[in-house]
Amino acid sequence: MSARPSGPAVNPTKEQRTVSNNEPYSAKKMYRTHFEDYSRRWSEYFTMRREDGIIEVRMHSGGGPAKWGLELHRAFIPAFADIGHDPENEVVIFSGTGDRFLGSMDPEGWERYGFTKEYTFELGYEYWYKDQVHEPFALLNLEIPVIGAINGPFFIHQELALLNDIVICSESTTMADGHYTGMGIVPGDGVQTIFRELMGVNRAKYFLLTGQEMNAEELLNLGLVGEVVPDERLLDRAWEIARTVFKPRHPSARRMARALLVQPWRELLVRELPAGLANESWATHGYWGMAQENYDVENLKAE
């Protein structure tokens, strides 16, 4: 029997609570969120299902593989805050949709906010620095265990997978970084910290500066993931881990183990992320590829 629920994702009905409520929250009631609210509120970014306290969250774009864009970037912050404020959530499984985890950019979104023009301070701060100093903490601030299930290629924002408590990937997974050799910008949004810690200094620099692509077995051998799973078994295996590693433990043990194990990441990113992003944003004023004619925004290539 599959460990993963086989039914459809849970969706609210018209009779269930609405997304917005104009009445003030009661001063005699502890604040919390509700699955039927936020699963609908964030449905254009994430597909969610929950069973037995385990919530599966899969990012997507139009129901298919997620394309990285500014809206999705920002949505992570309030969406995972909503997940964290729901006491009925005990374990999170985080993954992508289809055959890619994050395989391309969203060119329409970048153009919509003016990123195909000359880079300005407003772009760097309002949509870039301001979001990314918070986005990794959208996951790290959760007080419940998180399983990262990488369902295929990804080339940017590896923190979404690699900062989690247990990380597994599919056999088709490949990983590269799109900053220096793709966008032609400074790799300073946290990857400089994450890969240094996971790979070691020299290997991390080689990976970030050369555009090296690693396959699933290389990720396993380097210790970036704990298991490589056949593609069709990935989410089933994530649910098995949720049920066998985390659910049998008392909630206090789960939460305190989580707090202990993510603390080093929190300290490192608090110290290094703002300065890294400042370097990344400042350097884009010297070169910004998206402003060039015929630049392939979706695949980060100058044609």
Write out the catalytic residue numbers: 159
Cβ atoms < 10 Å from Cβ of 12: 17
How far, CA to CA in Å, does 103 sit from each of 64, 152, 296? 11, 8, 14
d(CA 73, CA 130): 11
d(CA 121, CA 128): 10
* 8 A C-beta contact, residue 183 and residue 156: no
d(CA 285, CA 290): 12
Could you tell me where the beta strands, DSSP code E, fall in the chain? 46-51, 54-59, 67-68, 91-95, 104-105, 146-150, 166-170, 174-175, 214-215, 227-229, 295-296, 301-302
Task: Give 100's strand partners.
Answer: 97
How far, CA to CA in Å, does 74 sit from each of 47, 223, 272? 17, 29, 20
